[in-house]
Structure 1
Amino acid sequence: MQIPHIVPTQDSALNTALTAVINNKTKPLGSLGSLEVIALQIGLIQQTTRPALMQPAIVIFAADHGVVAEGISAYPQSVTWQMVENFLSEGAAINVFARQSQCSLHIVDAGVNHDFGTRPKLIAKKVGFGTKNFIHEAAMTTEQCATALTHGIALIGGLPGNIIGFGEMGIGNTTAAAAIMQKITGLPLVECVGAGTAFDATRILLKQSVIQRAINHHDRVATPLEILATFGGFEIAMMVGAMLAAAERRMVLLIDGFIVTSALLIAARLRPEILDYCVFAHCSDEHGHRQMLTYLKAQPLLQIGLRLGEGTGAALALPLVQAAVAFMAEMATFESASVDAISPLDA
């Protein structure tokens, strides 16, 4: 499997030109805050002073996790496939928010422990019926991990647009994400483990114990792909591949919450340049996400107490990203509006 090659977006001449365009709009310097930062970033991604967003999409990757056998989730594993059915019936929060943002939504069976049969709205990329319990053995084989990455890479080729949001569904995947976070960042485990699907102090302590036992059992695991195969899920691995391929295509990557960011931790270890292409939708209330964002030196757009997953944060942030591009394209300049610009002495 070939890891996609990603070109850094830094271009000093284009940066200067984009900054001049932004500063010449009819507003005080810097007054649009994060929207100006995003406009500059997307201009650099697209290599133009007139960036445009086309056919936004959110892709939800769903899979099950063998580690749920340890009792780490408040919900039974069956909720994964039931929520996939909810997505297909357009009844979940992400369906509502994607419709509101006029964003296409794609549901991927990466490894759900359920036979859906042939479904017209479901992208069938099942690597297996859930991962193994990583307390006892690696969550997936090296071959399964490579297959999931390859499927993720291939999925991007079927999307027509230039901006993609990432979402996920998988009972137990906050445990997998926390294990990945600890191995990649080296932060204390207590900083990585949160409530997941329930505010239950006893269950949080159980999750910490389960992850610590797994880390001790797999103490020699070190490389990003080893960490992914040992502790990850099929949906996390598929997201890694999709993220890398999307950045290779110079797409804008809308990064959702805790689990999606755990996939990005792996992707960024493989190709650090991917961070140039990432817009961080929000800071989740899931414990550990803020530390992830700090580790990545990321500035999230929203902080509104979300901890649902599904790509909901990406869908809610999308209108802000679209606004950043819209003001670049449509807002008048000082000259065109006959408005006096700031004088050099006031700058």
Structure 2
Amino acid sequence: MTDTPLPIAAPDRRLGERVGAYLDTLTKPPGSLGRLERLAVDLAAMTGEPFPRVTPPGVLVFAADHGVADEGVSAFPQEVTAQMVANFVAGGAAINVFARRIGARLEVIDVGVAGAVSGQGVVDEKVRPGTANIAHRDAMSRAEAEAAIEAGRRAAGRAVETGCRCLIVGEMGIANTTASSAVLAVLTCEPVARLVGRGTGIDDARLAHKRRVVEGAIAARAPDPADPLGVLASLGGLEIAAMAGACLEAAVRRVPLLVDGFIATVAALVACRLAPGARDYLVFGHRSREPGHAVALAALDAEPLLDLALRLGEGTGAALAFPLLEAACDMLAEMATFADAGVAGDDRA
């Protein structure tokens, strides 16, 4: 990232206040639709539209490999990353099912898959064929981290330019919970044991090993918590960087971005450390079962919309939460006011 600040405008808080007042004229007790009302206000302020729209959504799935997979921190071998990318392209993954359900445009972006990616439909933005093993060296250079961020920004820009009015980010990368936990531990100064979870479903012995790997990588790399790009380059992943870039571009374009689970939230944290104004354009889809997710959410002062005990990634939890954004917009646009409906309003004032 250059030293030039990104042109991220503040949300239109005054418009949000007007929308909040309008909500109280609708045929319901004030505040009775709870967080849905707050969501409607936030979407209006983000977009600058009194009756915001979030359809169609755009799902961006970024894929990359991690050298730390060589340490045996995952239940699956590294080649699964490329195999799952092929599954995305074929339409057979969970995110494909959920994206079809919400009428989303879905794009799969290879920012660093180690193996060959077969099939048409994958956007080639490969910065390098996977990161280095963070147990022994930096994951990537600062320039490579910047390149992956820019790839994420371009993907977000493509989606918006094709008409998407809300973005969803997801990822695929064997061992990316290890990299995400390492980045999160440094950025939040929290102990590794509190953050590292089972990822793809590892047993107790491998979980203990995974924690030792993360602790050793942080000690060896020793990145500066005040330098988020440096933390990302030292310990992170190319898909994490790309998701951070998508968060930044969504904020620049005043488009709401629905964040998925643990790994996507760590990417969002990186984005917000790079450009704090990006936080105002993020909505958090769900609470993951990964223990570090609660810490990442707290660092962003975020309350997710759903808690379904998910831990898949791919953008699945965010896609499942998307209908709540649609409902918030429809409530604003379609509910009658007390005056329109001829219903007596609250007379306690």
Q: Which of the five TM-score ranges fits, normalised by the shorter chain?
A: over 0.9
Secondary structure of 2:88 counterpart: helix
Q: Aligned equivalents of 2:104 and 2:80: distance in 1?
A: 25
Q: Aligned equivalents of 1:98 and 1:153: distance in 2?
A: 21
Verify the 8 A CA contact 2:31 2:37 in the aligned structure 1. yes
Deviations 1:46-69 (A, max 9, x none): 112221223211100000000011
Q: Which residue of 2 aligns with 1:218?
A: 221
Q: Which residue of 1 aligns with 2:248?
A: 244
Return the letter of the residue paired with 2:177: T
Q: Aligned equivalents of 1:304 and 1:79: distance in 2?
A: 25
Return the letter of the residue paired with 1:232: G
Q: Which residue of 2 aligns with 1:47?
A: 48
Structure 1 moving runs of 4+ over 2 Å = 1-5
Secondary structure of 1:283 counterpart: strand
Pick the aligned partner of 1:272 from 262, 266, 276.
Answer: 276
Q: Aligned equivalents of 2:278 and 2:219: distance in 1?
A: 30
Q: Which residue of 2 aligns with 1:96?
A: 97
Aligned-pair CA distance for 1:153: 1.4
Q: How does the TM-score come out when normalised to structure 1?
A: 0.96
Q: Which residue of 2 aligns with 1:327?
A: 331
Verify the 8 A CA contact 2:169 2:246 in the aligned structure 1. no
Verify the 8 A CA contact 1:21 1:49 in the aligned structure 2. no
Deviations 1:158-208 (A, max 9, x none): 113121001000000000000011011111111110000014111111111
Pick the aligned partner of 2:204 from 192, 201, 204.
Answer: 201
Deviations 1:281-330 (A, max 9, x none): 00011111112112211111000111000000011001111100011001
Aligned-pair CA distance for 1:4: 2.8
Aligned-pair CA distance for 1:220: 4.3
Matches within 5 A, 1:180-195: 180-195=183-198
Q: Aligned equivalents of 2:302 and 2:87: distance in 1?
A: 32
> Is residue 137 of structure 2 the alignment partner of residue 133 of structure 1?
no
Superposed CA RMSD in Å reads 1.3
Cα pair distance change 1:185/1:10, threshold 3 Å: farther
Q: How does the TM-score come out when normalised to structure 2?
A: 0.95
Verify the 8 A CA contact 2:186 2:223 in the aligned structure 1. no
Percent identical: 44
Return the letter of the residue paired with 1:307: R
Q: Which runs of 5+ in 1 are unaligned?
A: none
Return the letter of the residue paired with 1:49: P
Q: Aligned equivalents of 1:43 and 1:163: distance in 2?
A: 13
Q: Aligned equivalents of 1:14 and 1:43: distance in 2?
A: 7
Secondary structure of 1:57 counterpart: strand
> Is residue 11 of structure 2 the alignment partner of residue 5 of structure 1?
no
Deviations 1:21-48 (A, max 9, x none): 1111111111111111110000001112
Q: Which residue of 2 aligns with 1:15?
A: 16
Verify the 8 A CA contact 2:149 2:246 in the aligned structure 1. yes
Return the letter of the residue paired with 2:209: L
Q: Aligned equivalents of 2:24 and 2:320: distance in 1?
A: 27
Moved more, 127-136 or 154-163: 154-163
Cα pair distance change 1:221/1:200, threshold 3 Å: same
Verify the 8 A CA contact 2:57 2:166 in the aligned structure 1. yes
Q: Which residue of 1 aligns with 2:340?
A: 336
Return the letter of the residue paired with 2:6: P
Q: Which residue of 2 aligns with 1:25?
A: 26
Aligned-pair CA distance for 1:9: 1.2
Verify the 8 A CA contact 2:75 2:202 in the aligned structure 1. no
Q: Which residue of 2 aligns with 1:108?
A: 109
Q: Which residue of 1 aligns with 2:260?
A: 256
Return the letter of the residue paired with 2:132: K
Aligned-pair CA distance for 1:83: 0.7
Aligned-pair CA distance for 1:10: 5.0
Secondary structure of 2:308 counterpart: coil
> Is residue 308 of structure 2 the alignment partner of residue 307 of structure 1?
no
